[in-house]
Amino acid sequence: MAPRPRRAGPVAGGPETAGPRVGVLALQGDFREHAHVLAALGARVTLVRRPEELAEVDGLVIPGGESSVMDKLSRTFGLAAPLKAAIAAGLPVYGTCAGLIMLADTVLDAIEGQQSLGGLDVVVRRNAFGSQNQSFETDLAIPELGDAPVHAVFIRGPVVESVGPAATALATLDDGRVVAVEQGSLLGTSFHPEINGEHRFHEYFLSKVRTRV
């Protein structure tokens, strides 16, 4: 029998009247770090492990972690189909690292049977930056987030191999590889702004949530 997900629900994030209700997919990965950032920015945060919790949020963050494990757990717990439907209906979603893989329409090196949720018109390659001990940091110019460069931390992250006509590249490395994209209410980064105090991507995402609300 499939395991039952532990009920998640709201976490700390200000009074009930403050900010939009933003979910963080909490099946696996560094969801707690995202929850803390969002709460600090005034969002009311819900850790999402069940379809009924997903139905209550105005936006969703899919964290870094292991994309193949997230995929399996989302299907086991009955979340995959509701997630795809919510994305298709325009729910703002921000995916970091594994979350970007989950949002990509095409994953070049997925393991056997692995599925993505889709929504972003991009092709990604998993673990494009090597093993964890090959992690690195760099500064990125992202005009949409202001003049100051964004300090980005890469940990076994994916790379966007190609960007389709529906999506837009937001950031590239010096060698031209795309590491941040957006498409309407969807946003994806290869790196982890939640772990180094760089909150502008979360603020940018929350602006999408507020616009939809």
Strand pairing of 178-183 and 168-172?
A: antiparallel
- pLDDT confidence of residue 90: 97
CATH of the domain spanning 9-212, picked from 3.40.50.880, 3.40.50.920, 3.30.420.40, 3.30.465.10: 3.40.50.880
Provide the residue ranges of all domains of the chain, joining segments of one domain with +: 9-212
Q: Which residue out of 97, 182, 198, 202 is catalytically annotated?
A: 97
- Asked whether the beta carbons of 116 and 110 are under 8 A apart, the reply is yes
The arithmetic mean of pLDDT across residues 140-158, rounded, is 93
Cβ-count burial of 24 within 10 angstroms (0-12 exposed, 13-18 middle, 19+ buried)?
buried
Give the model confidence (pLDDT) of 182-208 as tens digits: 999 999 999 999 998 899 999 999 999
In this prediction, residue 74 has a pLDDT band, given cuts at 50, 70 and 90, of very high
- Percent share of the chain, pLDDT over 90: 80
- Asked whether the beta carbons of 199 and 191 are under 8 A apart, the reply is no
The yes-or-no verdict on residue 137 having pLDDT over 70 is: yes
Q: Which helix or strand (DSSP H or E) is residue 167 part of?
A: none
In this prediction, residue 106 has a pLDDT band, given cuts at 50, 70 and 90, of very high
The yes-or-no verdict on residue 142 having pLDDT over 50 is: yes
Q: Which residue out of 34, 53, 182, 194 is catalytically annotated?
A: 194
Q: Which residue out of 34, 53, 192, 202 is catalytically annotated?
A: 192
In this prediction, residue 38 has a pLDDT band, given cuts at 50, 70 and 90, of very high
194 among known catalytic residues: yes
